Chain A
Amino acid sequence: MRRKNMKKGKHTFKEFTSKPEFSSLLILLVMFTLTAILQNNFFEIKSIMRNINAFAPLILVTMGQAVVMISGGIDLSSGTALSLLSCVLTSIMKKNDPITGLYAMIIALAVAVLLGLINGFGVGYLRIPSIILTFATSFIWLGIALFLRPTPGGESVPWFAIFYNFGSLKDVSGFFGTLGGFLPPSLILILIGCLIWWVISKTKTGRYIYAVGGNSESAYESGINTAKTQIIAYIINAIFIYLATLFFVGQTGSGDARMGDPLTLRSVAAAVVGGIALSGGRGNVYFALVGALILSFVNKIIFFANIPYAYQTLVGGVIVIVAIAISQAYISYSTKTKEIKIG
């Protein structure tokens, strides 16, 4: 019984407000309120669903990116990895053969794991700086994606649309259709992602990802296999990308070697806004979700605030810098370094 009390006592409100994540939550609250005010039908189920669908890919990719960043790395290939997986899926699937959808899912998952393995091997064992290594592999992924699908297109089995909308298919419109009215598949994919991370964070692997990102030397001296930990981090990231791909292909029914490109740097920015330090070891994967939501709401606000279309990119960029600057200022304010550093 004492244990339980001990655990409860660990989060006082004051402690929580001193965490960098708190600033992300505040920003999110502001964004949320603004969007709710600006979008008239914000609380209607239909528009909530539409919002979740629009936000899902960035949320998933950002959560994967966050895992890698916490392990002390970065993944500049996540966008092209997503494109490649979409091409793999649509190359295997035959429109009139439902079972190919299953094959495609399995093979694409294997490919995703392989992509993570290659990145992780390069960073962990070959010790190539992650920023330049994943930059190089992004070209490889892009090239292979173009081999598979030089122009956007491809076939998809009809039932794949369930990853976008349960109601889309007449055969399952009954029960699942009703369910889909409340629970969009994109939300389920995000929940699956959260569940994966929840399980991992309860294991040694989760703890070691933080330790390696925080201080790789200390982690090594404590007997942790740092290279293996980094590989696992990249594989987890790849699985998040895989989930995002399922949603995309479910939505469009086609593959595109260029579809993921904008997601790469956006996911890095979203993770930073969510309080995940590029230096590694610090941050919370669930708050990557918050960061992704903030960036997504920014787009919504710009759209609904009647800001002319031409200004949207400009305002978006400014808000990213401001959000990062705020979270950075918050981090340095709340964690005053006590040791004296040179310089």
Chain B
Amino acid sequence: MAEAQGGRSLVVDAVTHRYPSGALAVENINLDIKGGEIIALLGPSGCGKTTLLRIIAGFIAQTQGRIIIGDDIVDALPPNRRAVGIVFQNYALFPHLSISENVGYGLAARGVDKATRQREAQRLLELVQLPTMAERLPRQLSGGQQQRVALARALAIKPSILLLDEPFAALDKNLRLDMQIEVKRLQRVSGITTLIVTHDQEEALSMADRVAVLSHGKLEQFGSPSDVYDRPQTLFVNTFVGSTNRMPGIVVSADRTAAKVRLDAGAEIIARPAAGALTEGGRVTVCIRPEHLQFVGDETGFAGVVGMSLPLGATVVHEVTTADGSGVKISQARIGETRALESGAAVRLAPLAPSLANAFPATL
């Protein structure tokens, strides 16, 4: 059996999977994951992220492509021989076995004797900070505790890859943050290559070294959290990750690094061609995040009328209706006594910097 493998690499090589009905679940996914990385598979439900996870685990045999763990192509191996640890969304602890037996289950399957199993289970329970729970049954534990046990159970087999399927979805907000820190700590300690499937972008951005954004079975972008957030490569990534204002417009002039766009809202702004070169005269969608807009006093930018102001604690979000009738949100940090904006006040808005407005060819 596989020995302690700190961080084996994982390569998803041109993986395509079709359901028996013929529908594509995932299409030509390529991921090159280094040993010890935390990767988040981010996407809305139905984007194929769970299918990809199950393919890596071996529960689904992909139609095309290869899964390579370390130096081994594992496609021919059944799940029980891949040494891949999984934490399920509902934890899937064995309800009839004690916590200690749950943690030791994988070791028992490897023929480890009982005394060693119990010792190892105890060591892992201490690692997940549940040293006194060994003799309890899963249902006697809280959700967060069950999740720690599920983690300990997955780590017990010294997996080469750790897969977490929506691990924090069932936890309430405070507990979720605690567990995210906990998982990150355990991952640092063990150095195990970890894949987290999530639909929660904050979770993906905060936990992962790199984020793979999926939509409709396709890989939209695979990059660092700041890449994905600040330099989205597709309109989908820009709108799915973080919030954004989508403003339609026409390209006036364009080169490789900058494009002058006339917005339908009534201003010419400089935007970054995020998905490659743009053609002059073509329709584009410009994405500007609410925090990347500012109020301007001069005649630059586009005009609008303030509709509503929402004080959200650290920031205040104003909803502004532009000349073409569309709504734009602008978020301002609350520094000192923020200028109160009356509903109905006329304002002008502009992006903070050209690189913060991303232009995508309009798909309509």
Tell whether A and B belong to one assembly.
no
Q: Which residues of B contact A (CB under 8 A)?
A: none
